[in-house]
Amino acid sequence: MNPFVRPDMKAFLDALAAMEGPSIADMTLEEARASYLALHGMADRPARDLAVIEDLTCPGPGGDIPLRLYDPREDRAPGPVITFYHGGGFVIGDLETHHNLCTEIAALMDLPLIAVDYRRAPEAPFPAPILDCEAATRWIASSPDELAREVTGLVTIGDSAGGNATIVVGQLLADAPADVPVVLQVPIFPLASDAMGSASLDQFADGFVLTKAAVEYFDSQYAPDRSDPRAMPILGDHTKAPPTVLVTASLDPIRDSGRDYGAALAQAGVDCIFLEAQGLTHSFTNIRQAVPSAQNDLERVIAAMKFTLANN
């Protein structure tokens, strides 16, 4: 039986298919990174104007880590801060690929957001990106003067590889707490368990934005240790997970990995809202101009985040 695909999603998939471009796995690294940026530039809604958009750095294990601070307000009372980890398989994303989305989340949540530009594979394979995400999150939690904001709690969020980082950072900070706690985590279509061999990876192997070949390419570049919870957070301790808004997409080749994590949270008794965007693909958060209905799904995620923050 053919899966449900929303009309606007189908139109975008048809347009991508008509372009007949090479797959990410067949591009050079530079071409793959440029292609990812171009896709989001073409398909995502424009960035919002915010009172504060400022580039910063913090110390990291491999040198300074670039960050970008977003805030719809110039001045801010003490409160939670959102820490954002971008997607791209730990290989092709950066601050620019997710700039528009970060402005949207900061505006809709009315909270400061700090995006982390961690090191990427293959130049810096596993666990370097995770170590950077952890270091940046601990720095943010310390309310450094550079932020000019007093942080009372962390809201960690990320898409795809960034969703993996969201979960892993939560586990690392549960084991060795930062200055303030993670009060909410929001993994968006995350890689939590090993996607290789999953039913969704085969069902949506081609023609649904993220392909099986791309997943395999990212895996080969990132070179994760599958026995290490920092690579496969499904192996970690879920009993200490923070309140969670977990997001998957029904047409995503790594959908089942996110579902596995939701099941693990439920078994551990963790407060979790599970949202699966029906008829949408991986990366729907970054194609909201080309697929207008995806904006509603992002706003549903935001509503779930606000509800969870208000009730914990």
pLDDT tens-digit readout, 195-225: 999 999 999 999 999 999 999 999 999 999 9
- Of all residues in the chain, the percent with pLDDT exceeding 90 is 97
Q: How many CB atoms lie within 10 A of CB 28?
A: 8
Residue 85 has pLDDT above 90, yes or no: yes
* Tens-digit pLDDT profile for residues 23-67: 898 999 999 999 999 999 999 999 999 999 999 999 999 999 999
Residues marked as catalytic:
160, 252, 282
Residue 20: its pLDDT value, please? 83
Q: What share of the chain is helix, strand, coil (3-state, %, to 5)?
A: 40, 20, 40
Residue 1: its pLDDT value, please? 77
Q: Domain 7-310 is in which class? A: alpha beta
Cis peptide before 292 (omega within 30 of 0): no
Query: DSSP code of 271?
Result: -
Residue 176: its pLDDT value, please? 98
Residue 189 zone, left/alpha/beta (φ > 0; ψ -120 to 50; rest): left
Q: Report, as an integer, the average pLDDT of 280-285.
A: 98
Residue 312 has pLDDT above 90, yes or no: no
User: Does the reported pTM lie above 0.85?
Assistant: yes
- Three-state secondary structure call for residue 151: strand
* Tens-digit pLDDT profile for residues 125-166: 999 999 999 999 999 999 999 999 999 999 999 999 999 999
Q: Report, as an integer, the average pLDDT of 224-249.
A: 98
Structure tokens at 186: 């929001």
